Amino acid sequence: MSANAIRPRQPLAAFAVALSLALLGGCNSLCPMVAPTCGGLARASSAQPDPLPEAQPPSGRLLPPEPIAPKELPLGLDTVLRLADDKNGQLQVARVKLEEARAGVDLARYAWLPQVQVGAAYYRHEGGIQDFQGNLVRSSYGSLFGGLEVRGRLDPRDVAFQRVDAERKLWQQKGELSKLTSEHLLDAASTYIDFLAARAGEGSAIRTEKHLTDLLEQASALAKVDPGVRVEVERVEGEIRAHRLVLRKFREGADLAAAKLTYLLGVDPDCQVVPIETHLTALSLVDADQPVQALVEQALVNGPGIRELEGLLQVIDQARAAAEGPGKWLPAVEVVANEGAFGAGSGSRLSWDNQFNLGMCLRWNLTDALTAKERLRQADLKAAQAHLSYQDLRSRLALGVREARESIVSNLDQLRMADEQVRYAEKSYELSASRLKENIKGRSPSEVLAAIRALNGARLQYIQSLRELDKAEIRLMLLVGGSRVEAPCEPH
């Protein structure tokens, strides 16, 4: 099998793409950049020879099994968001922890139940003991009890604390899940955009290499007539080598991006990611034309973690009010009741009878009364921390909305400017290539080479602006409480 027949898997590039984009500082034209077929760039392959007759294995020997083609996984942005939400391993762990917290709330509802025990007890005494008149006597006796015992201690304040603590943990776990979900959705969607950007950059690089190859042929033809043009040939050759290095970076970025996607989406690592979108297009997920304050208000109502933190604050405030209510004067009630067969007697002899015992007491913890001020201060400080965290979350959401919206507006402007840059760069390249082809006075391969560089940089700049725009759109969508793409992404 030839090396060209082996197609690499596409991974998600954390920011390997960014390195290539930074090297060339550029972008893609408004003309759609068609992403190569999944598996990487379409590489030139030589004609395949006719297949040989099937070989027959020697008797007793088996041919090695043929390699299994990797399974393809078609992906669109909506599919990425759904799989990242449903299949990611860390999110599944967080959901199990949330269910554990819910089970804790259910368990706290039964904190008032007494303990019910069944068993037997044997007692043996040898030696001195005090009689009912206070005299020391020597005795030897044993006793045996077997039956049912109910032992309970009901402390209303402790029961209330267990319930509040269980609900607090539940709201905290809900907040952690909401935060983790938002972060993973943003990471998965951004990685998918990086993947498409790497593929678009790869396609742009292929087109640029075609221009450089054509220029090399023309420069080589001129060098045969004018030996002084030989330096131009070497210059173009060097540019082709440098460009292939950048092309390899794009392929690496796409491969790394696809690998990261398979992890974030919780799918089989052997799957080959196949993007449904053949173009890197400008997403429109949120109406960024509406006032900033309107977007901020949406984020403060539906943003990740807001409702969960508000629920936690409500639980804390209710517990604070209950702690200051009349319930703080209620005593703890302890009850012990047992009944069963009771055997007792001197030495090892036992006489049997039924026995019933009941004990009840009310207890007020005076130590709690002495430390009430300190414990109340501690509770107030914890509540203050929760309120400060809530205010900080609101501020961070507002900041994130403003940053994402400004990035959207800015990158839309950059796209328009980059599109104009691409059109002028294409025109410049066409004129320079025409001057060289028609042998117009003053023409040179270096002029065409400079035009190719400018065109490639303009295309890459367009891709980078488009990539940043899509990421900002996704971030703003998550900040205002969205998590799904219900319709195909349409360009602006």
For 348, which DSSP code?
Answer: T
What secondary structure does DSSP assign to 240-293, as a single string? Answer: HHHHHHHHHHHHHHHHHHHHHHHHHTT--TTPEEEES-SB------S-TTS-HH
pLDDT for position 64? 56
b/e per residue 414-445 (b: at least 16 CB within 10 A):
bbeebbebbeebbebbeebbebbeeeeeebeb
**Spans of the chain below 50 pLDDT:** 1-60, 484-492
DSSP, collapsed to helix, strand or coil, labels residue 40 as coil
Specify the fold of 15-36+71-114+156-332+366-479: Outer membrane efflux proteins (OEP) (1.20.1600)
Locus of tokens 């990242």:
84
pLDDT for position 466? 94
Distance CA(365)–CA(342), nearest Å, equals 35
pLDDT for position 331? 84
**The pTM of the whole model exceeds 0.85:** no
Q: Please, which residues have CB within 8 angstroms of residue 84's CB and are 6 or more apart in sequence?
A: 91, 184, 185, 187, 188, 189, 264, 265
Q: Please, which residues have CB within 8 angstroms of residue 386's CB and are 6 or more apart in sequence?
A: 309, 312, 313, 316
Distance CA(79)–CA(268), nearest Å, equals 15
What secondary structure does DSSP assign to 433-489, as a single string? Answer: HHHHHTT-TT--HHHHHHHHHHHHHHHHHHHHHHHHHHHHHHHHHHHTT-----S--
Distance CA(416)–CA(27), nearest Å, equals 12
Residue type, 473: E
pLDDT for position 483? 57
Q: How far is CA 352 from the centre of its chain?
A: 69
DSSP, collapsed to helix, strand or coil, labels residue 41 as coil
For 360, which DSSP code?
Answer: E
Q: Please, which residues have CB within 8 angstroms of residue 7's CB and are 6 or more apart in sequence?
A: 39, 40
Neighbours of 261 (CB within 10 A): 28
Residue pair 286/295 in contact (Cβ under 8 Å)? The answer is yes
Residue pair 120/145 in contact (Cβ under 8 Å)? The answer is yes
Q: Please, which residues have CB within 8 angstroms of residue 342's CB and are 6 or more apart in sequence?
A: 143, 144, 145, 352, 353, 354, 355
Return the domain boundaries, the chain: 15-36+71-114+156-332+366-479
Angstrom distances, CA of residue 199 to CA of 366, 452, 471, 481, 486? 72, 20, 16, 30, 24
Neighbours of 329 (CB within 10 A): 10
Distance CA(165)–CA(183), nearest Å, equals 27
DSSP, collapsed to helix, strand or coil, labels residue 124 as strand
